[in-house]
Amino acid sequence: MTSAGLERTLIAVERAGADMFASTEAYDRHVGRYGAALSRAHITAADVRAGSRVLDVGCGPGALTQALAETVGPERVAAVDPSVSFVEACRRRVPGGDVRVGTAEELPNFGTRFDVVMSQLVVNFMSDAVAGVQAMRAVAQPGGLVTSCVWDYAEGMTMLRVFWDAALQLDPAAPDEGKTMRYCSEDALSELWEQSGLHSVETGELVVEASYDSFDDYWAPFPSGLGPSGAYCASLDPDRQDALRLECFRWLGEPSGSFALRARAWFVRGRV
């Protein structure tokens, strides 16, 4: 990749935040495919119980918000995301929930405190993660929990790992999320939680799976520019994009039909 090309990619990747994830349909075929299973595992690890009031920060199109509504009832669920299109999708998914536009760093005033404040796959996209987690802590009840999970980009998130291993094979300067993401280990999450003033910090892993009808089903979301992997893919010219597509196919073992991929996320929780 030329230095101008790399610069374009990095600018696109740094455009993290609402814009990078704005297409709900592409999102649901990409990371969103793991959303329902990850949300269930996150809710169990966060020990969300019937009767709890919960806030989902960086809710995206609402996988976790919906699972929370099924657990505690929509009237006990609030959610926030900077992307207007995601907020609209989340409102459609969880009618009766209090879903608003905003960021973690500057949370809207929901007029209440929450028993559990959660963020799923979000801390790496906050412009100031310490400020974001501190704001999450500030809206939790004394004794309440603040939780999060992030993909194990470096190893256990197979869908993205395959993409970046294939990309690195063709372009050693490809911005591998296993290296560019700041919070992608239990230690990094634990440190962020302690730095943000949370106590009794615990970490663990959440392991889920998603299935694909075919290789095309796997590949389709990448050229749409969604997330850092999509931003990189969309920045390539058509020949390089084709080469990357073929390399991903090889890394996946040239599947001829349906297949499933495993994904590991690191989980953290701490008490106020």
Ligand X SMILES: C[S@@+](CC[C@H](N)C(=O)[O-])C[C@H]1O[C@@H](n2cnc3c(N)ncnc32)[C@H](O)[C@@H]1O
Q: Does residue 58 interact with ligand X by CB under 6 A? A: yes
E strand segments, 179-258:
199-212
Q: Does residue 133 interact with ligand X by CB under 6 A? A: no
Q: What are residue 248's phi and psi, to 5 degrees?
A: -60, -45
Q: Between 122 and 233, name the residue whose CB sits nearer to ligand X.
A: 122
* Dihedral sign (CA 219, 260, 156, 80): positive
CB of 149 to ligand X, least distance (A): 8
Q: Between 31 and 272, name the residue whose CB sits nearer to ligand X.
A: 31
For ligand X, the binding residue among 122, 157, 181, 226 (CB under 6 A) is: 122
Element (H, E) at 1: none
Q: Does residue 17 interact with ligand X by CB under 6 A? A: yes
DSSP state of 267: E
Beta-strand relationship, 259-271 and 199-212: antiparallel
Q: Cα angle at 131 between 9 and 264, to 5 degrees? A: 60
CB of 250 to ligand X, least distance (A): 27
Rg (CA), the chain: 18
What does the alpha-carbon distance between residue 267 and residue 42 come to, in Å, rounded to a whole number?
8
Say how many C-beta atoms besides its own lie within 10 A of residue 108's C-beta.
Answer: 13
CB of 59 to ligand X, least distance (A): 5
The site that binds ligand X (CB under 6 A) totals a number of residues, namely 26
CB of 33 to ligand X, least distance (A): 10
Residue nearest to ligand X (CB): 60
Q: Does residue 63 interact with ligand X by CB under 6 A? A: yes
Q: Does residue 57 interact with ligand X by CB under 6 A? A: yes
For ligand X, the binding residue among 9, 103, 147, 235 (CB under 6 A) is: 103
Structure tokens at 190: 């634990």
Q: Which residues bind ligand X (CB under 6 A)?
A: 17-18, 21, 31-32, 35, 57-60, 63-64, 81-83, 86, 103-105, 120-122, 125-127, 132
